[in-house]
Amino acid sequence: MDDSQMISEVADALADASRVVALTGAGMSAESGVPTFRDTLTGLWGRYDPQRLATPQAFAADPSLVFGWYLTRVRAVLSVEPHVGYDALTRLERHMPEFTVVTQNVDGLHQRAGARKVVELHGSLVGFRCFDQGHPYGFEHIEELARDPSLGERVAPPACHVCGSPVRPGVVWYGEALPATATAQAWSAVGEAEVVLVIGTSALVYPAAELPMAAKRNGAMVVEINPDQTPFTPSADVSWRGRAGELLPRLADAVIGAEVS
Ligand code: NAD
């Protein structure tokens, strides 16, 4: 099946569907310039093992190193914009009766592109809180630190205004449970969806990687958009080899464009 046949097959399914889910991973943000998980292994922080940095134990052992690493990620995310693939998903959301984004990303780009229903499975880089009690910490203070050019790699975390405990990013670290509400919303959306788009995820990080399989079991049409094969590829109904920023606008145009013109 060539690209145009795939577009029309998926566009037809979307046009008929009332419940759609887009499951997104780090590849969704690659064209905006946010490194994927794999890229971070070779990038600026490549000499550190993310599994060693992204744990509560690592934060307790060396808070300045871990806080500094996340400040670098905040800086990176603040300096990029959501690409046209994000806009395409937002256009689809506006067009469909029920459209939910379930993302493993923590960069907040779906929301910045105007998406209204976003389930963040792995938390958010935009929401910091204190380590001991979970008191929220204003992101404006984090932004100020992220924009301070005088800070180096290691940055001592600020103290919580309520209890004095060190402030940590609101992302899910290795060994921590996924947020219960987001998990329930993700399973419920996938359980009801007629079409599920799986975009830019290596389908290796569990439990998020179970969601495309669950969609299959529930009888949804599951469409993978990824330049590379993944462990999920053999199970996908349509497996589309390409970049999110190229394919999603074409798909949104095929679903919506004809009605607008
Ligand atoms: P991953 O890095 O394991 O996989 C990324 C996938 O995206 C790969 O399969 C790759 O082939 C694909 N990809 C690359 N460019 C693409 C493009 N232009 N269009 C479509 N697909 C493309 O990422 P993952 O599966 O999300 O899992 C890694 C973990 O890392 C997640 O837990 C996630 O929370 C975290 N993470 C998040 C961000 C972010 O928030 N942007 C960035 C890095 C890592």
For residue range 16-63, list pLDDT tens digits in order: 999 999 999 999 999 999 877 766 555 555 666 767 788 999 999 999
Catalytic residue among 122, 135, 141, 161: 122
Looking at residue 207, its pLDDT comes to 85
Looking at residue 100, its pLDDT comes to 98
Active site (annotated) includes residue 122: yes
Q: pLDDT-based confidence at 261, cuts 50/70/90?
A: very low
Cα separation, 160 vs 80, whole angstroms: 28
Task: Let me know: does 213 contact 232? Beta carbons within 8 Å.
Answer: yes
Cα separation, 25 vs 23, whole angstroms: 7
Looking at residue 36, its pLDDT comes to 78
Looking at residue 214, its pLDDT comes to 96
Residue whose structure tokens are 């999603």? 248
Looking at residue 129, its pLDDT comes to 98
Looking at residue 42, its pLDDT comes to 57
Q: Which residues pair with 224 in a beta bridge?
A: 198, 239
Cα separation, 79 vs 71, whole angstroms: 12
Looking at residue 225, its pLDDT comes to 98
Phi, psi of 5 (to 5 degrees): -65, -40
Looking at residue 152, its pLDDT comes to 86
Which ligand 1 atom sits nearest the alpha carbon of residue 205?
27
Q: Does 27 sit in the ligand 1 pocket, CB within 6 Å?
A: yes
Cα separation, 241 vs 260, whole angstroms: 28
Which ligand 1 atom sits nearest the alpha carbon of residue 31?
18
Q: Does 24 sit in the ligand 1 pocket, CB within 6 Å?
A: no
For residue range 88-134, list pLDDT tens digits in order: 999 999 999 999 999 999 999 999 999 999 999 999 999 999 999 99
- Residue of the CA atom closest to atom 39 of ligand 1: 105
In the predicted structure, residue 71 carries a pLDDT above the cut 70: yes
In the predicted structure, residue 186 carries a pLDDT above the cut 80: yes
Q: Does 200 sit in the ligand 1 pocket, CB within 6 Å?
A: yes
For residue range 206-257, list pLDDT tens digits in order: 888 999 999 999 999 999 999 999 999 999 999 999 999 999 999 999 999 7
What average pLDDT does range 130-150 have in this prediction? 96
In the predicted structure, residue 159 carries a pLDDT above the cut 60: yes
Task: Tell which wins on pLDDT, 160 or 203.
Answer: 160
Please, where are the H alpha helices in the chain? 3-16, 27-30, 37-42, 50-53, 56-61, 63-78, 84-95, 109-112, 139-146, 180-192, 210-217, 244-252, 258-260
One-character DSSP codes across 109-130: HHHHTT-S-EEETTEEEEEEEE
Q: pLDDT-based confidence at 205, cuts 50/70/90?
A: confident
Can you tell me whether residue 168 is helix, strand or coil?
A: strand
Residue whose structure tokens are 């899910």? 172
